């Protein structure tokens, strides 16, 4: 017995495919059998399993559990849940050795996938390729694992609420927040959470519906925040928070309806955290604004620019002992008083806490930030075989550049006008570009530099493509 996966599903950070085309029950079964075998080889045997609200998720969960138990692993089923609930089950239970969440995250409804944790660390990159190799070779353990179930919702919510501990109750009672679950898996947890929070809270779309009837659950796309903006405006709320489909990425708007992007949220979190942890290392990905790195330094922290990708960021946090990290995509990781995984519900509560402790409204905190001018994330198609080669060509051409060139992840070039970035996506056949300046004229010059580098590599920026 063996199983070969469609090569497109074994990705850098997770396993993901289209139901009925590149991903199905046989794949889920093989993932369970192989992951379980890999865990058993390390002397471990208990795996927590959760799934999101997509129509295909219960089917995949059933097959995954079959595979895990066939390898000899015991399974703790936490049921339909947001991804951070699965992470919580894995991190908070000493008897759990690994975790798998079935989720399509922010992808269209016909997609689904698997996010994995292996003995407390992210399972990605070479791990996923090895899983594919072992499955194709049929190198599987045999056994008969047991299955039990656990409802962790109340325990998980209770843990999140502790983020407000030690803050004067009067500061919190007047807070007024809007929340948009986007019909994603975080909905039921959000309803329980707001019932336990001080202040006034208004929620949207908490009913889990894998067809996402109201809007697509990706809070990094501004058009998906329209309903939240209307709610905050109609109710004159202090700010609003939105989640992606599985609740590990946060989006936010202030009381005036302005988007607070991922790097801007990290500026708020960092200012708050550095008051009690001066000198701490704060990590952000290469797409983040210069304003963030400057702000961290001004608040007494050590800013560190790192590669894009939630698994890569988590690994760097462990390596450096960083208590806080984040990405433009809305993944935020707290390891000061929390577990270091990305949890949008916890991040939402930490935004309330930061505003209270800093003594400024979220709207004021957003207004205090430098008004940088930047492009959105520009993504454009390039042949898979060319994407990394093209970046290498750009890097070589810039070797003698008078400007500072950072090669952490692609090329990020600092010039008197600001900075521009060009990197290869790890998950799609696209190149990603971004630029930021103090002036519109400067931004045009930066974008022209990107275009020139693409031209020299016989590529064109052309139309930007979606996620």
Would you please indicate which residues are annotated as catalytic (active-site) residues? Answer: 105
**Angle between helices 344-358 and 83-92 in degrees, nearest 10:** 90
Show Cβ contacts of residue 160 under 8 Å, excluding neighbours closer than 6 positions: 193, 343, 345, 346, 349
Helix (H, G, I), strand (E, B) or coil at 383: coil
Question: In the numeric block, which tokens belong to residue 270?
Answer: 């960092």
Helix (H, G, I), strand (E, B) or coil at 76: strand
Quote the DSSP letter at residue 223.
G
Helix (H, G, I), strand (E, B) or coil at 413: strand
Residue that is written with structure tokens 């599903």 in the block? 9
How far apart are the C-alpha atoms of 425 and 106, rounded to whole Å?
A: 16
Question: In the numeric block, which tokens belong to residue 204?
Answer: 């949207």
Instruction: Answer yes or no: are the C-beta atoms of 115 and 14 closer than 8 Å.
Output: yes
For the beta sheet containing 176-180, the strands, ordered from the edge strand earlier in sequence to the opposite edge, are 200-204, 176-180, 239-243, 250-254, 259-260
Question: In the numeric block, which tokens belong to residue 449?
Answer: 């530099």
Instruction: Answer yes or no: are the C-beta atoms of 283 and 259 closer than 8 Å.
Output: no
Phi and psi dihedrals of 189, rounded to 5?
A: -65, -40
Instruction: Answer yes or no: are the C-beta atoms of 61 and 86 closer than 8 Å.
Output: no
How far apart are the C-alpha atoms of 378 and 398, rounded to whole Å?
A: 21
Nearest to residue 261, comparing CAs of 234, 287, 226, 282? Answer: 287
How far apart are the C-alpha atoms of 153 and 89, rounded to whole Å?
A: 10
């Amino acid at each position: 017995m063996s199983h070969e996966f469609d090569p497109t599903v074994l990705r850098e950070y997770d396993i993901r495919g289209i139901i009925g085309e590149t991903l199905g029950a046989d794949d889920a079964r093989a993932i369970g059998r192989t992951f379980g075998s890999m865990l058993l080889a390390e002397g471990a045997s208990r795996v927590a399993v959760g799934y999101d609200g997509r129509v295909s998720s219960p089917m995949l969960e059933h097959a995954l559990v079959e595979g895990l138990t066939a390898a000899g692993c015991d399974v703790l089923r936490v049921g339909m849940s947001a991804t951070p609930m699965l992470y919580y089950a894995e991190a908070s239970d000493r008897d759990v050795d690994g975790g798998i969440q079935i989720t399509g995250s922010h992808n269209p409804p016909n997609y689904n996938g698997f996010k994995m944790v292996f003995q407390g660390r992210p399972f990605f990159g070479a791990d996923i390729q090895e899983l594919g190799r072992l499955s194709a070779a049929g190198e599987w353990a045999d056994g008969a694992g047991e299955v039990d179930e656990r409802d962790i919702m109340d325990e998980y919510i209770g843990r999140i609420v502790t983020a407000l501990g030690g803050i004067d109750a009067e500061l919190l009672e007047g807070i007024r927040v809007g929340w948009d679950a986007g019909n994603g898996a975080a909905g039921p947890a959000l309803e329980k959470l707001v019932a336990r929070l001080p202040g006034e809270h208004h929620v949207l779309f908490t009913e889990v519906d894998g067809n996402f009837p109201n809007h697509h659950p990706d809070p990094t796309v501004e058009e998906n925040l329209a309903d939240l903006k209307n709610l905050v405006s109609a109710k004159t709320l202090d700010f609003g928070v939105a989640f992606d489909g599985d609740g590990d990425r946060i989006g936010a708007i202030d009381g005036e309806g302005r988007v607070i992007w991922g790097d801007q949220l990290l500026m708020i979190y960092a200012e708050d955290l550095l008051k009690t942890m001066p000198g701490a290392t704060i990590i952000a990905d290469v797409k983040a604004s210069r304003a963030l790195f400057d702000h961290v330094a001004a608040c007494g922290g050590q800013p560190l620019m790192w590669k894009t990708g939630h698994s890569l960021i988590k690994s760097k946090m462990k390596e450096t002992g960083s208590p806080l990290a984040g990405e433009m995509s809305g993944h935020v990781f707290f390891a000061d008083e929390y577990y270091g995984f990305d949890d949008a519900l916890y991040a939402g509560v930490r935004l309330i806490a930061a505003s209270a402790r800093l003594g400024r409204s979220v709207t004021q905190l957003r207004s205090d930030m430098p008004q940088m001018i930047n492009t959105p994330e520009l993504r454009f198609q390039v042949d898979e075989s060319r994407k990394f080669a093209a970046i290498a060509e750009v890097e070589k051409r810039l070797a003698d550049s008078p400007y500072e060139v950072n090669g952490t992840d692609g090329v990020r070039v600092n010039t008197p006008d600001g900075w521009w970035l060009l990197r290869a996506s790890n998950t799609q056949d696209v190149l990603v570009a971004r630029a930021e300046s103090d002036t519109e004229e400067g931004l045009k010059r930066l974008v022209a530099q990107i275009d020139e580098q693409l031209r020299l590599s016989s590529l064109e920026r052309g139309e930007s493509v979606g996620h």
